Structure 1
Amino acid sequence: MIPRLLVVTDRTQAPAPLVDTVAAAVTAGARAVWLRDRDLPVAERAALAAGLRAVLDPVGGLLVWGGAAGAPAGLPVHLTAADPFPAVRPPLVGRSCHSAADLARAAAEGCDWVTLSPFAPTPSKPGYGPALGTAGLAALVRGAPPVLALGGVRPGDVAGCLAAGASGVAVMGPVMRDPAVVAGYCAALAG
Structure 2
Amino acid sequence: MPLDLSLYLITDRGLCAGQGLVETVMAAVRGGVTIVQLRDKYASDAELIDQARQLKAALAGTGVPLIINDRLEVALAAGADGLHIGQDDGDVAKARAALGPETILGLSVQTHAQLACLDPGALDYLGLGPVFATPSKHDHAAPLGFEGLASLVAASPLPAVAIGGLKAEHVAATRDAGARGLAVISAICGTPDPELAAQAFSAGSCHRSADVQ
Question: What TM-score do the two structures reach when normalised by structure 2?
Answer: 0.82
Q: Give me the whole-angstrom Cα distance separating, in 1, the residues matched to 2:82 and 2:118.
A: 15
Aligned residues: 191
Q: Hey, which of these two has a bigger chunk of helix by percent? A: 2
* CA-CA distance at 1:29 after TM superposition: 1.7
The 5-angstrom pairing of residues 65-76 of structure 1 reads 65-67=68-70, 68-72=72-76, 73=79, 75-76=81-82
AA aligned to 2:81 is L
The DSSP-based 3-state class of the residue aligned with 2:14 is coil
> Could you tell me which residue of structure 2 aligns to residue 187 of structure 1?
203
Against the structure 1 CA distance between its residues 38 and 130, is the aligned structure 2 distance closer, same or farther, given a 3 Å change threshold?
closer
Shift of 1:99: 1.4
Return the alpha-carbon distance in structure 2 between the equivalents of residues 102 and 75 of structure 1: 25
Cα distance in structure 2, aligned partners of 1:123 and 1:74: 27
1:65 positional shift: 1.2
**Structure 1 residue runs of 4 or more that deviate by more than 4 Å after TM superposition:** none
- How far, CA to CA, are the matches of 1:49 and 1:129 in structure 2? 28
TM-superposed deviation, 1:79: 0.9
The one-letter amino acid paired with 1:113 is Y
Task: Give, as a single letter, the amino acid of the residue that structure 2 aligns with 1:135.
Answer: E
- 1:92 maps to 2:108: no
Deviations 1:108-150 (A, max 9, x none): 4531111111111221233333321111101111231111110
Which sections of structure 2, spanning at least 5 residues, go unmatched? 208-213
The letter of the residue matching 1:71 is A
The equivalent residue for 2:211 is none
**How far apart are residue 44 of structure 1 and its match?**
1.2
Shift in Å at residue 66 of structure 1? 1.2
Q: TM-score, normalised by structure 1?
A: 0.91
- Structure 1, unaligned runs of 5 or more: none
Which of these residues, 9, 12, 15, is aligned with residue 13 of structure 1? 15
Q: What's the % identity of the aligned pairs?
A: 31
Which has the larger Rg?
2
CA RMSD, 1 decimal: 1.8
